[in-house]
Structure 1
Amino acid sequence: MKHIGIAAVTAEGAAITYKYICSASEQVFGKHTHPEISIHGFSFSEHMNFGPERLKKWQDLLVRSINKLEATGAQLVICPSNTPHEVYEQVCKKINIPWLNIADEVAKVAEQKQYKKILLLGTQFTFNSAVYPNAFEHLAAEIVIPTDEEQVLVHSLIVDELVSGVVSESAKQAMQGLLSKYAQQGVDSVILGCTELPLIIDEALTQLAILDSTKILGDAAIKAATN
């Protein structure tokens, strides 16, 4: 098995992904067995640079984090945070180990499931970036983006609550209402394009099929670790 590196951005996203890889690996390798895993993360405050230099800052942080993971022996890396994938191509040019792209992995599953009209949820940076449009450009599927007001709501729930592990009933109700609205408009599935969203969105909350980027990335990492 290959050594998996996790370039952490938020504690919640990294923890959920780590726990999922360990538990899901048992279905592949046997009880209590999983690949070697190393995690590195700078203070989340370092990633909270939302000014004009944010992309340069994110790129620098990811390169440094991945290099540290490589130094521990990691042979492949994942970043369980959708937003920083905006600098994926730039970072890949500066690292020596493969980085699995979370959006590409989600697109593969969406294609296999033949979803046609897919709602995207995430931070405003993810809504406004080309991360998911680029990943889905070869598919016959429509990506649906929430209204500006809904984007602000989802972003604030993520940044103000979920990244700190805060799970409120009001947040669940807000998401349930939003998902119900889009289900009535013909959407067949939803991308949880933020690795903390599974804290408040699951099959019990919505009739939509869920593309959980956290679990999908974890499954891809397990598969890559076996090759």
Structure 2
Amino acid sequence: MKTIGLIGGMSWESSAEYYRLLNQGIRERRGATASARCILWSFDFAEIERLQHEGDWDSLSALMVDAAQRLERAGADLLLLCTNSMHRTAPAIEAAVAIPLLHIADPAAESIRTAGLSRVGLLGTAFTMEQPFYRDRLAKRHGLEVIIPEADDRAMVHRTIYEELVAGRVLGESRAAYRDVIARLVDAGAEAVILGCTEIMLLVRPEDSAVPLFDTTALHVQAALEAMLAD
């Protein structure tokens, strides 16, 4: 089994899900006493959140690179960046280490293509929905047409992530609001919806959508499990 390095704490709520799903997956594949070989670098998300909203992506890239290099030196064979938004820094990480970074957008896109779908709605932070780093990868590398919510819906989705989900607050009224946003994405032509923030799966369930939901957290972990156990 390969050792996986997790760059987490963004937020720890979703990083805990990564840890649980990785270990659960290894147990299912290797037996009741088996668990994942992993090393976790966990950030103070307050620092990350401040830099994100200040737009200081140079400092954020430096922090992500430092974490990746620490994990590589500690013996990690591959890396998972346990957040969608911070994949804006993926090129810097890839350039700074010799071990592979498993990009979070790729397993979701590959699953969508395997399902025969091509028009997808995207939910996530404002950074993920509005900046090109994520949408362009889905479009240019995987041939997906990406639909994002209207401005008011984007603001609500972003606010819910930062004010509720990263703090472990899962509210029924927010689930209903997300359900309405998903319905509007479907009305706009989405054949599926990507849950493009690792906290959204804490709130939204398959029954909240008329079209398939693709949970980036679960799909990222599945790709990691395959890589960890590959010969």
TM-score range (shorter-chain normalised) is over 0.9
Per-residue deviation at 1:52?
Answer: 5.6
Q: Please identify, of 24-33 and 69-78, the stretch whose mean Cα deviation from structure 2 is larger.
A: 24-33
Distance, in Å, in 2 between the alignment partners of 1:204 and 1:25 is 28
Q: What is aligned with 1:38?
A: 39
Structure having greater relative contact order (Cα 8 Å, sep ≥ 6): 1
- Number of equivalences: 227
Q: What is aligned with 1:95?
A: 97
1:51-130 correspondence to structure 2 within 5 Å: 54-129=56-131, 130=133
- Unaligned 5+ residue runs, structure 2? none
Per-residue deviation at 1:19?
Answer: 0.6
Q: What is aligned with 2:212?
A: 209
- Which structure carries more helix by proportion? 2
Q: Secondary structure at the match of 1:115?
A: coil
Q: What is aligned with 1:188?
A: 191
Q: Percent identity?
A: 26
Residue by residue over 1:104-163, the C-alpha shift from the partner in whole angstroms, topping out at 9 and shown as x without a partner, is 222111111121221000001111222232233244431111111111110000011111
Distance, in Å, in 2 between the alignment partners of 1:25 and 1:209 is 26
Contact 1:47/1:57, CA 8 A, preserved across alignment: no
Q: Please identify, of 128-137 and 197-206, the stretch whose mean Cα deviation from structure 2 is larger.
A: 128-137
Q: Please identify, of 102-111 and 117-126, the stretch whose mean Cα deviation from structure 2 is larger.
A: 102-111
Report the residue type matching 1:106 in the other structure.
A
1:210/1:51 Cα in 2 relative to 1: closer, same or farther (>3 Å)? closer
CA RMSD of aligned residues (A): 1.6
Aligned mate of 1:199, from 178, 199, 202: 202
Report the residue type matching 2:221 in the other structure.
G
Distance, in Å, in 2 between the alignment partners of 1:33 and 1:132 is 37
Q: What is aligned with 2:30?
A: 29
Aligned mate of 2:180, from 161, 169, 177: 177
Flag as ranges the 4+ runs of structure 1 deviating above 4 A. Answer: none
Distance, in Å, in 2 between the alignment partners of 1:174 and 1:100 is 32
Q: Secondary structure at the match of 1:137?
A: helix
Q: State the TM-score, normalized to the length of structure 1.
A: 0.94
Distance, in Å, in 2 between the alignment partners of 1:5 and 1:108 is 23
Distance, in Å, in 1 between the alignment partners of 2:53 and 2:209 is 35
Q: What is aligned with 1:50?
A: 52
Residue by residue over 1:154-207, the C-alpha shift from the partner in whole angstroms, topping out at 9 and shown as x without a partner, is 000001111111101111010111112222343221100000000111112222
Q: State the TM-score, normalized to the length of structure 2.
A: 0.92
Residue by residue over 1:55-96, the C-alpha shift from the partner in whole angstroms, topping out at 9 and shown as x without a partner, is 111111111111222232211110110001011112211123
Q: Secondary structure at the match of 1:38?
A: strand
> Is 1:12 equivalent to 2:21 in the alignment?
no
Contact 2:68/2:93, CA 8 A, preserved across alignment: no
Report the residue type matching 1:30 in the other structure.
G
Report the residue type matching 1:199 in the other structure.
L
Q: What is aligned with 1:164?
A: 167
Q: Please identify, of 33-42 and 176-185, the stretch whose mean Cα deviation from structure 2 is larger.
A: 176-185
